[in-house]
Structure 1
């Protein structure tokens, strides 16, 4: 009986209950980002990512933005190891110009400035590889919806407002991450 009580009391002592991470893909864009993931049950975690880019790189480019993206995750085996499915929300602010996005997405960003906010949600799939007792590598992709409200300006740092309170409904990728994770 004593062994059962001790086993139940101390069995989770060394289990990972949280992780702090950074998305290496986002790091490559000079965007500061941090994620915090907390276990809520043996196969469930809550993840919160914050990305912030206050920089004006020059040359007519402007990529200022703030993104907050909470996500609930269900792990197929155990938390912080293997496959998971996620459901996420996202919201944020942006002020962008002079940017060429992949796949010719939003070609107007090359010649105009867009300032606004967005909110939405989506689903994701990911996998974490255990590298050591305290370090993991995570890959995660997601798709979903975003409602975008914006004003359009003539050029990056100047120019008159061309359009006000425009709306866009976006369906497509909402998440791409290759993260290094410190678990504890």
Structure 2
């Protein structure tokens, strides 16, 4: 808690794995969020303002779909290695389960700017493009959290 109606949430993700046939979906991500609670902190509705940043190394994945302007089918034949930053706003709700335990649900939207080098294939190292920029607007956070309150 930062004040009677403000809290700070910091989440992180790390995936270091390379799958069979050199398929990669490696990334790390840090996502701090300031939350304003409409009633009491850690109870009921809140609005969150989050930032995010990290890096990725993705390729060799057979995903044949497009989502909000991103063509995931390119991940089958190419590998992308780069970084990203962004920000967004979210709405959430917390239910008190007991004195120290809460259940939270949250959904957020925002903007992400990324730059990545494009490589010829998931296994190869031949670079095809340097620092290709990509802009994304859409979901930036979806969470269901079990929270311990001190």
TM-score (norm 1): 0.74
Measured in 2, the distance between the counterparts of 1:99 and 1:124 equals: 30
Change (3 A) 1:145 1:165: same
Is 1:52 the equivalent of 2:14?
yes
Corresponding residue to 1:61 among 12, 23, 48: 23
TM-score (norm 2): 0.90
Cα drift, residue 103 of structure 1 = 5.5
Is 1:99 the equivalent of 2:65?
no
Corresponding residue to 1:176 among 136, 142, 147: 142
Corresponding residue to 1:156 among 112, 122, 138: 122
Change (3 A) 1:55 1:41: same
Q: Is the Cα–Cα contact under 8 Å of residues 37 and 45 in structure 2 kept in the other structure?
A: yes
Number of the residue aligned with 1:85: 47
Cα drift, residue 110 of structure 1 = 2.5
Measured in 2, the distance between the counterparts of 1:102 and 1:131 equals: 41
Q: Which has the larger share of strand? A: 2
Measured in 1, the distance between the counterparts of 2:95 and 2:65 equals: 30
Measured in 1, the distance between the counterparts of 2:126 and 2:146 equals: 42
- Structure 1 unmatched runs, 5+: 1-38
Number of the residue aligned with 2:85: 119
RMSD, aligned α-carbons: 1.6
Measured in 1, the distance between the counterparts of 2:97 and 2:57 equals: 38
Change (3 A) 1:47 1:143: same
- Structure 2 unmatched runs, 5+: none
Number of the residue aligned with 2:98: 132
**SS of the counterpart of 2:112?**
strand
**SS of the counterpart of 1:59?**
helix
Q: Is the Cα–Cα contact under 8 Å of residues 34 and 48 in structure 2 kept in the other structure?
A: yes
The structure that has the greater radius of gyration is 1
Q: Which has the larger share of helix? A: 1
Measured in 2, the distance between the counterparts of 1:164 and 1:172 equals: 25
Corresponding residue to 1:70 among 32, 36, 52: 32
Cα drift, residue 91 of structure 1 = 0.6
